[in-house]
Amino acid sequence: MPGLGKIIARRLIVIPPTLLIITLIVYTVIRLVPGNPVQALLGEEYNEAAARELEKQLGLDKPPILGYIDWLGKVFRGDLGTSIVLVNKLKVSDLLLQRLPVTAELALLSLLIGLSLGIILGVVSGLNRGGRIDVIISSILLLNLAIPVFIRAILLVLIFSIALRLLPSSGYVSMSEDPVGNLRLMIMPSLAAGLGVASVIARITRASVIDAMSSDYVMVAQAKGLPRGLIIYSYILRNALLPIITIAGLQLGSLLGGLVITESIFRIPGIGSLVYESIIQRDYPVLLGSVLFIALVYVLVNLVVDILYTVADPRVRYEGDKR
């Protein structure tokens, strides 16, 4: 396809420097924050000599930039390092692989909830532009968008766990062990994260529907007397899906980073909670490996979205050829 190769090449070129900048910032900040894991590891046996020796073993005696270069060299050799806090000294890559299915399940469920609610509310709001329904839906979406995810999580726990006693407040069980229990435990975390996505998707959908309704092809279809349902599905909704594809991809990437709070609140053992634990414990290799993985997934998702959008809309390719 003309222009598609150039677009992919441009996106691929920016991935390495993006990952480099993100991990450098995270490494520098975490090293400059007061405190390190040495005191926690030594416990009652802590003394200056033992602390200096352990810092040397862990590579914490070096300036941040040199420590980062050492870590980067290991990454280029395919080694994300080993946890410096966990007793069994697990490899970071093994920790990520263990927790990836949990985070992937939560992210996909949240995205599914966000897409379903967002598209439905956006279409209804757009079709009733300026009416009472539109005002009510838009107000609810705006309010929901302003509420942080941890507030939504707390409200859901108060309603469904404490007041109604319908769902457990936290915990996790795998789908293979107990499918029903898994869904019961994942409903509230998915809602807490997915409702934020729903507001974004709904606003984009509403704008796309309004734009499509004013287009010539919809007016011609209405003049022909085609059924309203057919016009909405075949002419309005299908043409409004292009921007939704882009936003959905971006939201999936954002979810992976935003699940740190959600997983921590609901005690879900995913990559998000792993990031939180590594920050608290100053487990630098685990934190850097997790951040690198999340950032890589985010940029790859964006790349896939760009490709899908380019395939769906040839005008993007033509514009790329002119540059």
Give burial (CB, 10 Å; 0-12/13-18/19+) of 49: exposed
pLDDT, average across residues 83-99: 82
CATH no. for 96-143+190-281: 1.10.3720.10
> Could you tell me if residue 174 is left (phi over 0), alpha (psi between -120 and 50 degrees) or otherwise beta?
beta
Which among 306, 312, 235, 280 has a CA at the least distance from the CA of 6? 306
Tell me the pLDDT band of 41, cut-offs 50, 70 and 90: low
Q: What is the pLDDT of residue 301?
A: 82
The type of residue at 26 is: V
Q: What is the pLDDT of residue 132?
A: 92
pLDDT, average across residues 243-269: 81
Q: Which residue has the tokens 């490494």?
A: 27
Q: What are the distances in angstroms from CA 127 to CA 120, 217, 228, 285?
A: 11, 16, 11, 51
Q: What is the pLDDT of residue 42?
A: 66
The tens digit of pLDDT for each residue in 135-194 reads: 999 999 999 988 888 899 999 999 999 999 999 988 999 888 899 999 999 999 999 999
Q: Where are the domains of the chain?
A: 96-143+190-281
Which one-letter DSSP state was computed for residue 103?
H
Which among 84, 59, 61, 54 has a CA at the least distance from the CA of 70? 59
Percent of the chain clearing pLDDT 70 (strictly above): 87
Which among 93, 65, 69 has a CA at the least distance from the CA of 81? 93
pTM equals 0.82
Which among 14, 50, 18, 4 has a CA at the least distance from the CA of 316? 4
pLDDT, average across residues 70-80: 86
